[in-house]
Amino acid sequence: MAVPETAEAGRRFEPFALLSFQTRIAEVYQSRLAAAFDGYIAATEAANRAWIDATKPLTPAQAWGEATGYWTDFAQRSLLLWDTLRRRGNDWLAHEAAGKPPLIAFDYEIVADARRYARPANYALVRIVAPSGVAADPDKRPYVIIDPRAGHEPGIGGFKTDSEVGVALRAGHPVYMVIFFPEPVPGQTLADVTLAEAEFLRVVRARHPTRGKPVIVGNCQGGWAAIMMGALEPDGAGPIVMNGAPMSYWAGNDAENPMRYAGGMLGGSWTALLASDLGGGRFDGAHLVENFEALNPANTYFGKAYNLFAKIDTEAPRYLDFERWWGGYFLMNREEIGWIVDNLFVGNRLASGRAEWAPGKAFDLRALRSPIILFASLGDNITPPQQAFNWVADLYPTTEDLKANGQVIVGLMHESVGHLGIFVSAGVARREHTQIVDLLDYIEHLPPGLYGMKVEEQHVDGAVRYDAVLHEVRVEDLQKLQKYARKDEIPFAAVERISRVNAAAYERFAHPVVEALVRPEVAPLLRALHPLRARRWALSDLNPFLAPLGGWADLVRSHRVMRDETGPLAAAERRAAAGIMAGWDLYRDLRDAAAENLFFTVYGTMSLTSPAASADRIATGAGRPDVGEPAGRIDEGGFTDAAVRAGLLVARLGRNQRRLSTFKRIRALVGRDVGLLAMPTEAAAQVVRRQAAFVEREPEQALATLPNLVPSAEERGRLLDILGRLASHSDLEPEQRALMQRLQELLGPERLPGSRPESDVAAGREHGSEPARRKAG
């Protein structure tokens, strides 16, 4: 959605700018309406063509057989569908009665329980027990996986054997997960949660003192939890992986990301406070899950059930497994959800350094020096790539700022997988998560910068292999992810201001009344009547009308009559289903277009006419980080410094990409000889950062002073041997080979301190040296 062309336009009322803005709003709205109807027509036409192509003339006998077979199968499928829904309800009741334990596909043991801490929280740290045949490698660093507390229960990171947990275990890493319990501790705040997670990190480090700093993996909202933990404990955090993690909540594109308007359409954070008061001071996570489901009403209200109906003989186990996790709704304290909505959903304060965990103490993301991997998907409408990546530009406005701060950030983009698929898809686990785990063994030896990561698929001898390719990009390139150069984020600053006003009014006038009317004893009843819960317990054995379903379903399974999937009646069913889905999609598109249009009409106009618009902060980022000089002088260092500098000098002249397979080959060839692997991880990273800074800023001087780092003939011989092995096993560019020749000349024995260049020796022979002349005289 278009916004004012300059920040100045957001500071004063300009009738022409306002008219232009409103005209653009109308144009975008009209184009969205046209696209919605075009999509509906295209979907229905495709469904009609498929139905016509499948229709064929039948004899009366064939028509009779088709009808009896189809309708018998239809009746059986319907009964099996209702029985599956009954089993879902029974599973939900059993899970609730068991206390909603985490649905992790691996055995685990609790090693720390934050409910017993001085500042208690309903969190715990568990160690994943490796399955039979999988052993941890004592040389590998531990993993700490944080699942989102976004309404449902923990476990998504280890929901399947092919998952983040499974991939890390198979790679030999000890794995821990941060879980949470259904009920928050009374008085618990988000600061208590973050402090508990920081303590968990110290526990893991104490259990594995000889290994590298733990890798922290944050899923969805667990991503910002991971980075806040790292900000509080920067010296204890290893690489941080953020999967589908929203960090820039105002970001997104018009016609693509409807959830970003929710805060404005609801008037800010006061609705979360109201929902908490109706819950007796507890916010029901079912409200968040309901928001997710509303994003795709076609799937929520028809598609998921129809897919189960169409594949009833094979789909039920997978459906029940997922619904068991999806239906576990957890609670938050009023203070927790209030902080999250104010600082993240509406306020977007984390990357700008305004999110405080205590009065006067904000989370400082610039304190982080750990490498960060960001994994997002273009098919994710809950956490779009803009929300996963834009905070980098807020924290580091330029590429030079990021490099000067010694930060390594790698971005991985999937083309199509949805939000949940990032965490639970077995294909994504085998492809993307496996490569991420592999890369983490090398990421701390990368020079600072922003990298794009791509996973390439290779077919070798009938087997599928994957290779990760990194190419350096500029922070400024992140602007390409979002239309309008992020100026469409300006109206969200108006939402933040309105939210503060509405929340203050609610707290003063409505909160005391609602709190007095809704007693804590009533809250469980209200939660039980929430539609997401009611449709589970109502379709269970608690319902006496469903009592016969189990026996009937067993009878049907033993006497199944399968329809002809290529027959005209099955084709007609699929055509009807496609038509229903298209209708729901049309409703969704019209709804989202109307909401977006209303949002920008109200808040965009408000931003144009309000003198308090925050356009400057949005357009220029959170502020320039402190930029320091690299530690040490450019002509100081040892053998490892020299080897790293030589490698960086050669690499900068090559193709702008780095392959994971190349990292492995280089480590196998010269990894032990360079010396980085024998150093503590942080010390090795410091060497790479320091030498990368020299090469980035003064490449010619870095080359000229390289011999000073290896003054002895033995060291120079070792370095030349390393360079020679790399050259013989690498496909170098002509410029790189020329530099290799120059390095050989610089580091040759004739260049040792105290030696004379060969040209001087030759000149001495021709003209006679000074001592020789004196002797002859």
Domain CATH for 212: 3.40.50.1820
Residue 339 forms part of a structural domain: no
Average confidence (pLDDT) over 440-460: 92
Q: Using pLDDT thresholds of 50, 70 and 90, give the confidence band for residue 753.
A: low
Which residues, including other chains, have CB under 8 Å from residue 241's CB and lie 6 or more apart? Answer: 215, 216, 217, 218, 226, 372, 373, 375, 436, 440
pLDDT the model gives residue 754:
52
**Mean pLDDT lowest among 237-251, 266-280, 612-626:** 612-626
Give the residue from 465, 481, 497 where a domain finishes.
481
Task: Please count the other Cβ atoms lying within 10 Å of the Cβ belonging to residue 738.
Answer: 12
Q: Using pLDDT thresholds of 50, 70 and 90, give the confidence band for residue 221.
A: very high
Residues 591 and 653 in one domain: no
Which residues, including other chains, have CB under 8 Å from residue 373's CB and lie 6 or more apart? Answer: 239, 240, 241, 242, 409, 410, 411, 412, 436, 439, 440, 443, 453
Q: Using pLDDT thresholds of 50, 70 and 90, give the confidence band for residue 630.
A: low
pLDDT the model gives residue 139:
79
567: closest CA among 21, 53, 3, 9? 53
309: closest CA among 126, 580, 115, 493? 580
Greater confidence, 20 or 357? 357
Which range is most confident: 110-119, 365-374, 768-777? 110-119
- Cα R_g (the chain), whole angstroms: 31
Residues 191 and 293 in one domain: no
Angle made by CA atoms 466, 480, 627, in degrees to the nearest 5: 90
Residues 492 and 463 in one domain: no
Spatial distance between the Cα atoms of 39 and 34, rounded to a whole number of angstroms: 9
176: closest CA among 269, 234, 255, 109? 109
Spatial distance between the Cα atoms of 221 and 213, rounded to a whole number of angstroms: 22
In the DSSP assignment, the letter for residue 480 is G
| Domain interval for residue 524 | 7-99+265-334+485-628
Amino acid at 287: H
Residues 612 and 680 in one domain: no
Long-range contacts: 76-80, Cβ < 8 Å, 24+? 76/556, 76/560, 76/561, 77/309, 77/312, 78/309, 79/549, 79/552, 79/553, 79/556, 80/312, 80/313, 80/316, 80/553, 80/556, 80/557
Residue 260 forms part of a structural domain: no
Spatial distance between the Cα atoms of 153 and 151, rounded to a whole number of angstroms: 7
Strand, coil or helix: 452? strand
Average confidence (pLDDT) over 677-699: 91
Residues 377 and 432 in one domain: yes
Spatial distance between the Cα atoms of 777 and 775, rounded to a whole number of angstroms: 5
379: closest CA among 411, 412, 413, 418? 418
Residues 145 and 172 in one domain: yes
Residues 443 and 327 in one domain: no
Residue 777 forms part of a structural domain: no
Give the residue from 460, 481, 502 where a domain finishes.
481
Residues 60 and 176 in one domain: no
Q: What is the mean pLDDT of the chain?
A: 89
Residues 723 and 755 in one domain: yes
Greater confidence, 317 or 757? 317
Residues 491 and 586 in one domain: yes
Number of domains, the chain: 3
Residue 2 forms part of a structural domain: no
Amino acid at 27: E
Residue 187 forms part of a structural domain: yes
Spatial distance between the Cα atoms of 429 and 9, rounded to a whole number of angstroms: 47
Residue 577 forms part of a structural domain: yes
Tell me, yes or no, if the pTM score tops 0.85: yes
Q: How many CA atoms lie within 13 A of 225 on its CB side?
A: 32
Helices 639-651 & 734-747 angle (0-180, nearest 10): 150
* pLDDT at 417 exceeding the cut of 50: yes
Residue 142 forms part of a structural domain: yes
* 25-62 residue pLDDT tens: 999 999 999 999 999 999 999 999 999 988 888 899 99
Residues 220 and 365 in one domain: yes
**Mean pLDDT lowest among 217-221, 541-545, 663-667:** 663-667
Residue 573 forms part of a structural domain: yes
Residues 206 and 288 in one domain: no
Give the residue from 567, 593, 628 where a domain finishes.
628
* pLDDT at 776 exceeding the cut of 80: no
pLDDT the model gives residue 644:
95
Q: Using pLDDT thresholds of 50, 70 and 90, give the confidence band for residue 739.
A: very high
